[in-house]
Amino acid sequence: MALTGLVLAGFVLGHMTGNLLMFKSPAAINAYAKWLHENVALLWTARTVLIISVFAHIWVGIQLTLENRAARAGGPAAEATRRATIGSRTMPYSGVVILGFVVFHLLHFTLKAVALGDVAYGDDVYKMVVAGFSCKTVAVFYIISMLLLCLHLSHGVSSVFQTLGLRNERWRGRLDVLALAYAWIVALGFISIPLAVLTGCLK
Ligand code: HEM
């Protein structure tokens, strides 16, 4: 879980940072997208690593959820489960919504199978993103999904520290703050784009 979680958490930070080029200029985000598509070897290596990580993450996540359910039947683990944070208790649910979001997102922006409005954008990624978020329902769906991503990441990142054996009594507090900050930076970075389109700052 830790390795796949690390790969996916690293990807979302990188993807969010790249997306912020939307605020620089249409030319900047379009040049970035063009560069990514032209580097076929890099693109397909990243895609392969991502696909393997997503499937492995889901598989281990299901095992963990089933083990937790079985442990909840009684004993000391039941007490530990009751004390768990909301982020930890909702991991399977936030995970399922994020998966649904990613499927929609790929259909929307990568496969361009979701037609919204009658804007023709061709290879213009800037125009495609603005057209996509001009639909309020889609923009709100993205924002809600990013808030759930924040919840999922905040618990996920602190669990990685736990697995690495770093989250001891001395460091627990500081590492939990670090995980929460990471989750909010990623979520707010993503949210800024649909929000900027909704408020007319990006058009
Ligand atoms: C406001 C939020 C987001 C925006 C504006 C956005 C934007 C985009 C755009 C424009 C593309 C297509 C790039 C291209 O083909 O040139 C893309 C691809 C993708 N996005 Fe996002 N994204 C957002 C959030 C996310 C999140 C939260 C995830 C994962 C949890 C994600 C995962 C992906 C993946 C896996 C791809 C496919 C990359 C590939 O072509 O292999 N995105 N995104």
Within 10 angstroms of residue 55's Cβ, the number of other Cβ atoms is 11
Whether ligand 1 lies within 6 angstroms of the CB of 112 is answered as no
The CA distance from 18 to 28, in Å, is 10
Whether ligand 1 lies within 6 angstroms of the CB of 125 is answered as yes
Residue 168 CA: distances (Å) to CA of 87, 140, 156, 161, 174: 20, 39, 16, 9, 10
State the distance from the centre of ligand 1 to the C-alpha of 170, rounded, in angstroms: 37
Long-range CB pairs of 107-110 (<8 Å, 24+ gap) are 108/132, 108/138
Instruction: Give the H or E element holding residue 56.
Output: helix 40-71
Q: Quick one: pLDDT band at residue 200, thresholds 50, 70, 90? A: very high
Could you report the per-residue pLDDT of 149-175, keeping only the tens digit for each?
Answer: 999 999 999 999 888 888 888 888 899
Evaluate whether residue 159 is within a structural domain.
yes
The verdict on pTM exceeding 0.85 is: yes
Evaluate whether residue 102 is within a structural domain.
yes
Evaluate whether residue 156 is within a structural domain.
yes
Evaluate whether residue 203 is within a structural domain.
no
Three-state SS at 203? coil
Whether ligand 1 lies within 6 angstroms of the CB of 149 is answered as yes
Evaluate whether residue 73 is within a structural domain.
yes
**How many domains does one find in the chain?**
1
Residue whose CA lies nearest to ligand 1 atom number 41: 47
Cβ atoms of residues 116 and 134 within 8 Å: yes
Cβ atoms of residues 25 and 81 within 8 Å: no
Structure tokens at 163: 């697995």
Domain residue limits at 72: 2-198
Could you report the per-residue pLDDT of 83-134, keeping only the tens digit for each?
Answer: 678 888 899 999 999 999 999 999 999 998 887 666 778 889 999 999 999 9
Q: Does the structure show a pLDDT above 90 at 196? A: yes
Residue whose CA lies nearest to ligand 1 atom number 40: 110
Q: Quick one: pLDDT band at residue 55, thresholds 50, 70, 90? A: very high
Of the CA atoms within 13 Å of residue 188, those in its CB half-sphere come to 6
